[in-house]
Structure 1
């Protein structure tokens, strides 16, 4: 098609053409050349519109515009061939050229926005621009004051040429806008479209300047313009379109049109130009003013949207996006050799969250949790230094960034003061503690782990403070400063947490069972369920390798519930096989405070048809005493189901005898630290003896953990301990290995036994 267009241009140049005012010896040839050029170009544009992806609407509008413009050109050529219509040969082309403007303008605007939509106000601004430019051109071709105040001082042919050239100039401006403001200046297609407009409109411009007479070279240039347009459609761009729509640019354009329109109106009034020109310019000013108001409203909305995009919806402080921007700016200023910065003590980041915030949500509802976060923010924000930035990362995790003007110690004092007084939430007073992690960026930059770059510095600094905060939660410290020796592998830590989160739902957690034997006759009393993680790469992981992470990252409740589910299911399977063994499951502190736990336990027991008395839930003294009212209520509700409760690691906490008397438990488990020193320390032996006596007086069963030799077992038996558990009997075993251990040790299963236990065969 392009080659055909070039042939048309060559042929056109060889045909002797006369001006419109004289006779044309080749009217039929001119008509045919025009028809061929228009048809060829339209077919190429239509093909591009069908095959284009992101720009198909652009080329579709170009093709429609080309077709409409071609209809005018072909009609004009036909008029030339008819002597009676020859004097009106300019009419179809000029009218169609003006009607083509909306299509071509919208195509260029959409192109300049690289795929963004085009709204009606864009066309309003373009039409207003045409009116103002037409008024300005009218001043050049209209007689001066001597013409009086006539509305139509020149022939209609000149008026059409003025309007046609005004449309051309606005389209050229739109093409240049697409080339430069939209960063398309490296795209050859834009320049081909620009050239097409220049070539196709050159004849009309010459006719306007020449008093309405069209030059002989108009048709070759017009055909060359069509060829350039077809060439733009054939070329493929190397630049991917992006969504861009900046109201600032269109606002500037509207302001320029308004200014030009007012200047044209003033010039027309001063020179005594016809009223029509002033009205035309004022109409353009009115249209652009409407567009300007729309743009100003859009800018106001954009400002609000940007502010909201950098603000946390719940608390009204900065969000993560705003925080990272601020960190980027601070880190950039502290780079060595940076002109805007210089040697500085550094930027300090403090990350903190609320201890046991999940328990507030679970017990009082998310509305109460949101209210707590809002009150905490309102208590902290006014007290922070003006130079500090306070942001919420999400959930109950917050960040304070302080630079040289706001020392970290002052910020820490504010955080310390914020947690002294309770918060009135849900009709009760809630005390909360904050775990704080601190990291500092100095002029040398935090590149210990090989990360670099401005964004890497900001993200790394935040991650280090986050790692220190989780260490504070794990150790119980109020503030922990990042130490590369202790927290160096922050990325690996977070990766492990993500893997653990997946492992809970992917069935990677495994439950092993450690036997508990009666101290006197060594019959099986029950088993304790202990969790392991079957990591797909690292193999079987012990609890110490992942439970601290689960605790500090809020995953402990999910782990506990998964262990409870697997334990009850395995217990049901054993009962069907003739082994009605008692199973003990450890409860985390968070699970113990969950008021829905009794319902969950009841549903599990009913689903698997397991008697409640064969399940023991172990809790630590620390967990019970963290929030005594709630935890005791949960334990009592579980006990009401018939489930037994046990105090795990007894002796390591700080419970009083009064509290022990009030706890609704049926079992005490002596911590392994007492068992290990029983034979070597008389004071430990005395403590164990008195503990056993106290437990029996309260009608509690005593289980000793960590039994590893016969001498320790004998001593515990002599002191009256009821049951023992440890490596002497067996290590924690998978379900199948436990069954094999039981079969080897006891043989056949009998119905006799105590507390749901079995006795040795024979």
Structure 2
């Protein structure tokens, strides 16, 4: 917007009289840079005050001019040019004397012709020519001078038309330059008029002058006495006689024919500079560009004027640059004011006001509020500056998962960031917990930061509500000793949406519900031998809806059966493709507690397996301890039924239930999965290490394979390998990926080396 305004202002300046007026004001400074001496090829015979005093009668008899012509001719003048009006008769003897003198000059004399206004009430222009008897042996040249609207003379014409004939100007005649009628050229006002040789008229008439001062020169004869009038204002030299103006114009043309450069070229160059200035985000950068560009512009214009004889306008370009500089200054002042209002002073992070500005965006947002649980103790130990550094280090870690890397400081202990809509929350936060468990180094000290995260989803237009929900969820996560927790309003809102509108049914039918796969790495075979199927809901407006959010709702609304069958059919179909290249690959599917006792569900499972080309032995059904405890007899019967079909059975989330050991004896299990809450820190926490090792030993004694989930670093991997664990699962190997990405991983013959 600033660029458009500046360009518009520059264009208007260029096409209106404003730019020309400013350039006229600047003209004296442009000419004042160079002090040029006259060439010496032009001399002035001035009708000065001494001459007026010696020849007391006015108008002078033309016999005086005749005498001057003869004297100059004999002295060897190259040409004699009069800036004197001969358009009306004088005394007869004098007129005859001048005519005779002109005939003796052999065409070396130019007499003036000009246009003049008929009268005060008649604005017609009448052409004035010398009287007829003087025209035969003289050249007629125009002496018309056209001041600018401000009365200053800056230009001269190459030729004009009088009496229907084109006439060269005095300056063009003297310099022997040709040009078009009314073609104007700028007079070089850097030429010092005082360096033009001058002789008094009466001294020349009387022969009292040095002939060498006119020999070979072009001599201008004209009035310089104040009482004779004929004076003009100039931008550089003030009011000077018209004959001196003519001499300056002649001196200009002797050097060459100057011209005016295109204002459009300067405008375009200035436009480029304006665009460059606006690319800088700071006033300093814009000012430097403006200063350098102005210097280059001025230098270029002066060089073109002095050496190329091209006069370019400078006002428009300079005005555009100055306006842009002022606009950048105003922009930065306003921006600084906005930043002061929207940036946290201690850390420089954007504050809650900036986050609230997102309410103008018409889209859904997934907001995470991270709360530092030990903020007050950190401040007591580190002080305000040290704590601010801690907040900055934490924000750098949060930015790794935040959308566009932006993190906001909401209050002293709270930071907020947006999660990508096209990624599940589990995937987005998969490594953040591990990163946050690492100590933060500040001022040579290493400190622990206790953090919990609250998640809330909603439209940007309801940003205040979303922030409040996420903040409450962060506090609930702290109270529940969880790393992150979703806002209760998300669950209630989704439940209401599903129960009233059937969104989940539509999502399954329209293909919004997708199946991702997380590989399981066999520590003995050192390769991926199995995967776990995980459901993902890509909602058209909410983005990715996490399984932690919609699966409990699906169970409550009796939609878990069609959802599970949808996943199972996908897995069977995908396994048929994958096992063509990897025949030993198996896939695990989570089975809800409600489904173990559902005869219709089990019948449909048998139908799908019977109709598929994939053997049942390629499938693993994962059930939780809570599923087994809900109705033990029905659960055991259902699991035996699966085993009879050839499907392996795995107990998921082992260690989080209440009666684990007794059910290990009763349930027909093939595999046991240790919950991530025990695995993640088993290599660091002795209690967790004991639990994991004893579980592995117990499972092996019962003939079960052991899968450890939640493996996210090399140290944990090595601990599980040396502890005899069979398989591991976690982000260290791979996050959940779609089928095509899984095929790529398997095709690379993945081998992990710690």
* TM beyond 0.5: no
Q: Name the one with the larger helix percent.
A: 1
Q: Name the one with the larger strand percent.
A: 2
TM-score, normalisation: structure 2:
0.34
TM-score, normalisation: structure 1:
0.33
